[in-house]
């Protein structure tokens, strides 16, 4: 079982969270259709460390960026994003 350290709730089971996508697969608002398709569907899927967007859906419902190794599932950083991240 993978534990994710929610910035608001502390360590919780992965089953409380929903994975959305990697940070580099988010298309900017002004991207053309072709640019958005390239970013969303034709990117590489490398092994190693990646920044991923997760949501604590069955907890505080906050969004966060989880830095995780894709092979070992080791999490090196979790940071809150969105309105919940404001001091």
Q: Domain range for residue 56? A: 3-25+40-85
Rounded mean pLDDT of 8-33? 91
Averaged over 49-53, what is the pLDDT? Answer: 92
Its pTM stands at 0.80
Round the average pLDDT of the chain to a whole number and report it: 89
Q: Is residue 34 part of a domain?
A: no
Q: Assess if residue 32 is contained within a domain.
A: no
Does residue 77 belong to any structural domain of this protein?
yes
Give domain status of residue 35, yes or no: no
Asked if residue 8 belongs to a domain, the reply is: yes
User: For position 55, what pLDDT does the model report?
Assistant: 95
Domain count, the chain: 1
Please report which confidence band the pLDDT of residue 87 belongs to, taking 50, 70 and 90 as the band edges. Answer: low
Q: Report the distance separating Cα 49 and Cα 62, nearest Å.
A: 22
Does residue 33 lie in a domain region?
A: no
Residue 31, in any domain of the structure: no
Q: What is the pLDDT of residue 78?
A: 96
Alpha-carbon dihedral 11, 86, 59, 67, rounded to 10 degrees:
-50
Q: Specify the CATH number for the domain of residue 49.
A: 3.30.2270.10
Read off the tokens for 13.
Answer: 């089971």
């Amino acid at each position: 079982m993978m534990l994710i350290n929610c910035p608001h709730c502390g360590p919780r089971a992965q089953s409380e969270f929903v994975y959305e996508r990697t940070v580099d697969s988010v298309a900017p608002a002004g991207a053309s259709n072709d640019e958005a398709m390239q970013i969303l569907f034709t990117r590489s899927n490398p092994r190693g460390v990646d920044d991923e967007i997760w949501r604590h859906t069955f907890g505080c419902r906050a969004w966060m960026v989880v830095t995780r190794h894709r092979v070992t599932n080791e999490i090196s950083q979790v940071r809150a994003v969105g309105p919940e991240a404001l001091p």
